[in-house]
Chains A and B, each alone.
Chain A
Amino acid sequence: MYYAGKYDVIVVGAGHAGCEAALAAARLGCKTLVITLNLDSIALMPCNPSIGGTAKGHLVREIDALGGQMGINIDKTYIQSRMLNTSKGPAVHSLRAQADKKKYQALMKKTLEEQENLYLKQDEVVAIDVENGRIKGVKTKNGAYFECKALVITTGTYLRARIFIGEVNYSGGPNGLFPANELSKSLEEHGIVLRRFKTGTPARIHKRSVDFSKMIIQPGDEKVVPFSFMSDDITREQIPCYLTYTTEKTHEIIRQNIHRSPLFSGLIEGVGPRYCPSIEDKVMKFPDKEKHQVFIEPEGEDTDELYVQGMSSSLPEDVQIQVYRSIPGLENCEILRTAYAIEYDCIDPTQLKLSLELKTIEGLFFAGQVNGSSGYEEAAAQGIIAGINAAHKVKGKEPFILDRSEAYIGVLIDDLVTKGTNEPYRMMTSRAEYRLLLRQDNADLRLTQKGYDIGLVTEERYQRYLKRKENIEKEIERLKKTVISPSERNNEILRSIGSSEIRSGITLYELIKRPEVTYENIKDLDTERPDLPKDVTEEVEIEIKYEGYIKKQIEQVEQFKKLESKKIPQDINYEEIQGLRLEARQKLSKIRPENIGQASRISGVSPADISVLLVYLEQLRRKKVKENE
């Protein structure tokens, strides 16, 4: 063991959480070291080749609005992009892009390499060093000791990772990489409670062995909306995906071999995610379904590997070959990489504060899949928050916390930390109670000011945000003031778009509220319309059209904020509060909520317990006032 130097912040792992954490900390001026098992696996996408999707796309936009990297990186490396849910309300429109995996990785690696204050090291962290309840440093396999003021652990699915392919199973990380087998023990020695989760990925197949003529082509959007608020219109040739279906024969093979699946035989103990079921899960759970969708997605421009979305499996390799080849278009498919399930250690996230700092060890942060979440975007979202808070720790600043009314990131972290999770946690729009306010289109309006105040948002991004904000506000004002007269010409236009005629003057603002009217289809009525970018006019239209619903949610948020702003002192002793029920006392002592709102979301804490807590806090406050007199 040798002393290898001192850093402000060390980040363990360089996946999606690690990259955002490291970039945030370094950009905030902290001398930051990233230690990863393999520098070639920076920003690795070991599962699906896409970024975004419902709710996940919102997360990417929020990361971007705060000054993170994921949005910029995917905008430069996508090979197909689609806005999902466009037939539904604006709150649930979601961006998703297919990534060129290798390019995505290479660009992120280069970004890290070029970042000032950021240092990279290929090694394995085997132990953490804690002194007087505070993180002090890490030990590595190569015998180095790195000292630090704050540590961010983003180990993803690598801790004591185990691969399952039918009856075959072995110690191994994702995609043929090494697992990290030693760090778990050190974490446990420091009192951190670990759990076992499971996830899986489908096979990769060779393009030349696929008959696309039997499949349905899935092109990208003609007009691509970028992820990053920093990206202008992008035009790039897109690569299509393809859709095919499983057959009765597929299901038959699975049913005959189900006893060989480690999930069904009980070999795998870890809990898997319900939204990412293996194909054998789907077939067994929904026996009446005649076919299941299979999407064929390219892994990148410079490779012939294809990802087989919907076919994740832990069946034995010989069965997998039969199963895949029973699918139209895949009759002759060459499997390049076999599907596998992976089991790994993660922590119980209720051990964390809302800042993602461990409650029991100062300066130790966790982010990403190690917290029991799943998904690149969920990981990156936690990463940027952990990175900011690690930097704040070093600088002695207050933690940066987004609440449930401000961002999906806030919902994600609050859910994990307050309620915990029993399966790998995936972001969903239905988890956000203020969904209508937390849209992907307004992520910058919600968060860029905050990112700027922290110091993570560049001046250029900030100016763009201010300009956009001003454009939106001005245009809404103009529409409120512009009155349309009931002239024959105007009514003719209204009739042509299927809207009813007007008898007296009406503002454009009121007119846009009509369901059949859009900002676009009344442009002939609006003779003095300024030339504005599409993202501005869309924002304007949403804010006008859904004003009533938005107002209602804003009122709900005001109520919510009142409870969130009632802070609970961190040295509170729940044991001494008379009148709390035993269950509430135990739960509160375990979670140690930071405010009354958070306390009220803990399962097992009743409204009466909250009342008791409020009375107790008031009691404390008055005693303090008395003492000071």
Chain B
Amino acid sequence: MLNDTIAAISTAIGEGGIGIVRLSGDKSLEIASKIFKSAKGKDVKNMKSYTMLYGYVIDPDTDEIVDEVILSYMKAPYTYTREDIVEINCHGGVLAVRKVLSLVLKNGARLAEPGEFTKRAFLNGRIDLSQAEAVIDLIRAKTDDSLNLAVNQLKGKLSEKIKHLMDKLLGSLAHIEATVDFPEDEVDELVVNKLLDDLNYVYNEIDYLIKNAESGKIFRDGLKTTIVGKPNVGKSSLLNAFLQEKRAIVTDIPGTTRDVIEEYINIDGIPVILVDTAGIRETEDIVENIGVEKSKEYIQNADLIIFMMDGSRPLEKEDEDIMDLIEGKNVIAVVNKIDLPIKIDMDYINKRFKNVVKASVKDEHGVEEIKKAIADLVFKGKVSSKNDILVTNVRHKDALIKANESILKGIQTIKSNLPLDLASIELKEAYLKLGEITGNTVAEDIIDRIFCDFCIGK
């Protein structure tokens, strides 16, 4: 834990076109060499300190090119952490950076704890004593943030799913351990095929979660979000507020007509495509200009609708028309201009919409709440198309991958007819990894389960 090789995305996702995956620790170069191919065929392992190589990150399992990158290497001790550092500069945007990170983690790195690079810099004597407090603050703040994020993302279906799988796994584990620790008690005989079935079930379910994590529709194609509302309610202000903060991968991609522009933004790792009616913005009247039919088309194709209303005016017919159009869709209702006296019928709106955010977009009030509402809908699985459960947190995903590696080894141990108590070492590892997501501890859980499932004791 103190000096293994760690990795993380070192640029905040979405801040700038380039994303950097940073590795620190004595296996940095070795890990990088497993996933990187230099364009000129140079050997990564023989790289000189403070040099760069141009080339590609390649998934060793599939031989597919993940991204075109520049890899730089800095040898200890003249680095930020005073450990060997490798940085992989990715160009392919958010998804590519995430993919590169997962490859690095799969090939031997551990996901850095929040603030861990800085912590190491301090512990290795790189940072001055006077900054110690700042280091502590950083660890604290970053941890609390990411913890909150992780906890938020674990609500709902994903959490239920993981708990269900842990429960299954614990059942198998407790059964093996009960036969080991209480050989003379009447513990039901362990049927190896049943055990294998249960473990395969858990393995497959976790495997599905991992595969779905980045191939889920929303992560592949982005969350199509359309902002609707009558003219002059603040749609463009909202768009600008989003884009200002996350001027991430802003590419102009012509839509189906020249009138429509799709803007990409990133909210907590979710790629969001904002479908904006930029081309017709001057006239500021969707309904009138492109007609009801066209509006319907946008609304139909959207995964999510942000419906904006003017809180300083009573509801008008145009609002009601839009409400009818978006009936049955996933909607975040935004009541804008709440800096002015409220004239709109809030009770009616609260009754009609589940997600209501009050905002004053021009002073950026409420923008964060809107983003949070978007993230919540995704993480709670409300907007995923096939009711898929999405794993979006890198830490969760890493834990799932490592858990499944252990389960697989456990299954192999059982299949090679080795004693079951050897398999349980692997299964404990797996449970421990899953427990990192939910905060469970393995030893006590097993013992509790043994006493719950079996009549033990003489």
Contacts and interface: CB of A to CB of B under 8 A. Distances in A.
A89 B418 contact: yes
Contacts of B244: none
A490 B197 CA distance: 39
Interface stretch (B17-25, B53-61, B112-120, B221-229): B112-120
B180 A615 contact: no
Contact of B419 (A89, A275, A310): A89
B422 A611 contact: no
Interface string B119-141: 10011000001001101110110
- Interface residues of B: mostly helix, strand, loop or mixed? helix
Contacts of B201: none
Given A289-B455, A515-B418, A579-B140, A88 B180 contact: yes
B441 interface: yes
Contact of A54 (B135, B181, B455): B181
A284 to B, nearest CB: 11
Given A92-B180, A562-B1, A615-B122, A515 B143 contact: no
A293 B182 CA distance: 13
B4 A282 contact: no
Interface stretch (B36-44, B98-106, B254-262, B443-451): B443-451
B250 to A, nearest CB: 34
Contacts of B69: none
Interface in B404-458: 416-422, 424-425, 428, 441, 443, 446-447, 450-451, 455-458
A474 interface: no
Contacts of A55: 181
Interface string A588-629: 000000000000000100111001101110110011001000
Contact of A618 (B123, B181, B456): B123
B160 interface: no
B457 A619 contact: no
Nearest to B422: A89
Given A92-B421, A435-B425, A549-B422, A54 B180 contact: yes
Interface stretch (B88-96, B183-191, B235-243, B338-346): B183-191
A531 B177 CA distance: 37
B133 to A, nearest CB: 6
B12 interface: no
A286 interface: yes
B193 interface: no
A558 B147 CA distance: 28
A486 B456 CA distance: 51
Contact of A275 (B123, B441, B456): B456
Contacts of B135: 615
Contact of B455 (A85, A282, A553, A615): A282
Given A428-B181, A608-B114, A578 B133 contact: yes
Interface string A282-298: 10011001001101000
A546 interface: yes
B143 to A, nearest CB: 4
A430 B122 contact: no
Interface in A525-564: 546, 549, 553, 559, 562-563
A619 B134 CA distance: 12
Contact of B113 (A88, A89, A608): A608
Nearest to A87: B419
Contacts of B387: none
A563 B136 contact: no
Interface string A444-461: 000000000000000000
A276 interface: yes
B183 A622 contact: no
Contacts of A612: 136, 139-140
Interface in A295-320: 295, 309-310
Contacts of B182: 54, 275
Nearest to B129: A622
Given A85-B180, A549-B425, A562-B3, A608 B140 contact: yes
A546 B422 CA distance: 9
Given A428-B447, A611-B119, A614-B119, A579 B455 contact: no
Interface residues of A, number: 56
A88 B419 contact: yes
A626 B129 CA distance: 10
Nearest to A428: B181
B139 A611 contact: yes
Contacts of B181: 54-55, 92, 428-430
Nearest to B454: A286
Given A515-B418, A608-B114, A563 B180 contact: no
Q: How large is the interface on B (under 10, 10 to 19, 20 to 34, 35 or more residues)?
A: 35 or more
A618 B458 contact: no
A612 B143 CA distance: 11
Contacts of A85: 180, 183
Interface in A26-63: 48, 54-55
Contacts of B441: 603
B1 A295 contact: no
Interface string B195-208: 00000000000000
A608 B129 contact: no
A553 B446 CA distance: 20
A134 B182 CA distance: 43
Contacts of B186: 292-293
Interface in B1-47: 1-4
Given A54-B180, A84-B184, A274-B451, A436 B422 contact: yes
Contacts of B424: 430
B2 A615 contact: no
B443 A277 contact: no
Contacts of A90: 419
Contacts of A618: 122-123, 132
Contact of A615 (B136, B185, B451, B457): B136
Contacts of A615: 119, 122-123, 132, 135-136, 139
Interface string B397-409: 0000000000000
A431 interface: yes
A91 interface: yes
Given A436-B422, A562-B3, A578-B133, A84 B119 contact: no
Contact of A285 (B2, B417, B422, B455): B455
* Best-buried of A94, A559, A562, A611 by chain B (most CB within 10 Å): A611
A394 B247 CA distance: 70
Interface string A270-283: 00011111000010
A579 B422 contact: no
A276 B4 contact: no
A336 B136 CA distance: 66
B1 A559 contact: yes
Contacts of A92: 180-181, 419, 421
B116 to A, nearest CB: 7
A433 B425 CA distance: 8
Interface of A: 48, 54-55, 84-85, 88-92, 94, 273-277, 282, 285-286, 289, 292-293, 295, 309-310, 428-431, 433, 435-436, 515, 546, 549, 553, 559, 562-563, 566, 578-579, 603, 606-608, 611-612, 614-616, 618-619, 622-623, 626
Given A54-B181, A92-B419, A309-B458, 12 more contacts: A89-B419, A92-B181, A282-B455, A428-B447, A429-B421, A430-B177, A430-B180, A579-B133, A607-B113, A608-B143, A616-B132, A618-B132
27 contacts: A48-B458, A54-B180, A89-B420, A89-B422, A91-B422, A92-B421, A274-B456, A274-B457, A275-B457, A276-B457, A282-B457, A310-B457, A429-B177, A429-B421, A430-B181, A430-B424, A515-B417, A549-B422, A559-B1, A562-B3, A578-B136, A606-B143, A612-B139, A615-B139, A616-B136, A618-B123, A622-B129
Closest 8 interchain pairs by CB?
Answer: A89-B419, A579-B136, A608-B143, A286-B455, A430-B177, A619-B132, A274-B451, A89-B421
